[in-house]
Amino acid sequence: MTSENTKCAPFRLNPWFSERVWGRHDLRPWYDSTGTDALVGEAWLTGPQCIVATGALAGQTLTAVAAELGERLLGAVGAGECGCKDFPLLVKLLFPSDKLSLQVHPNDEMAQEMGHARGKTECWYVLEAEPGATIALGVRDGVTVEDVRKAIASGTMENLMQQVPVSVGEMIFVDAGTIHAIGPGLVMLETQQTCDITFRLYDYGRPRELHLELGLRAMRTKTAAGKMKPRAMDGFTRLIEQKYFVVDRYDLPAGGETVVPSDGAGTLVGLGGEAVVQSEGGETVDLLAGQAVVLPVENGSVRVKSAVGASFVRCFAPACSYA
């Protein structure tokens, strides 16, 4: 527990590993062990069930911490029209060894009609890519909803998709309503609205449930999905800036340090090397590859230092996202 008179320091979360039929047994070098013999497709870094590993809040879930701290953790994002009191961004690492299903996610309006807090707009940052790796991203020009329905029935849905080659360092935006699928041979950092609603439209004959009518209702034939051009900023690179999230990349040399501002509910995710996050109050927490350090809004900016060099991203929800 934290006192109302004491600012909550940044804290690190333990990843939560999600089993998927398209996942992997071995997630090295990111993780030495997942704690399961099952195929793991996703490491949730800021999932509701992730456990706090450091500081006064250690042992609690992120959901419990958000409920306890409210706007101290979330800032204005926690006071939006949806009444959400959870962490607004779900950040994951994805490890596909096979094609994901062709799927689509609802926008806020549709999700809220179904009784959920928000929809699911997301983005993918490519961390590893084998030669020839691709993603399916949106339907081809001229394809209609009825075309999609018929192609699903005939088993030819892949023929209607735009296949996009991807390489390390690229950022892909996937707005709600875009039919999509990630292919094998990739490791991706996904930043998305905290929502786990997926309508599976086509799964290559695998015996899993499909959600045809809901998926067709959610899909859009024209979306804003696509590769995003990075922007050089003062001391970092802005990979994407959208309504629901902003993702920035920092690369520190050995002995380097930087100040990361507080612009909304957010987290730092280690990509390589090691660093230390220091709060304004002097508290420190290690930033490690494949793990997230949550930055409570009330704490303000933090200083990140690295003796050996480090790369990390900051993912945050702008304060206006849900206001």
Q: Is 89 exposed, middle or buried (0-12, 13-18, 19+ CB in 10 A)?
A: buried
Kindly list the catalytic residues: 200
> Is-cis flag, bond preceding 29, omega within 30?
yes
Per DSSP, what are the bridge partners of residue 226?
173
CA atoms of 179 and 199, how far apart (whole Å): 9
CA atoms of 150 and 142, how far apart (whole Å): 15
CA atoms of 99 and 136, how far apart (whole Å): 10
Per DSSP, what are the bridge partners of residue 103?
180, 200
CA atoms of 116 and 178, how far apart (whole Å): 19
Nearest 5°: the CA angle 286, 255, 253 is 90
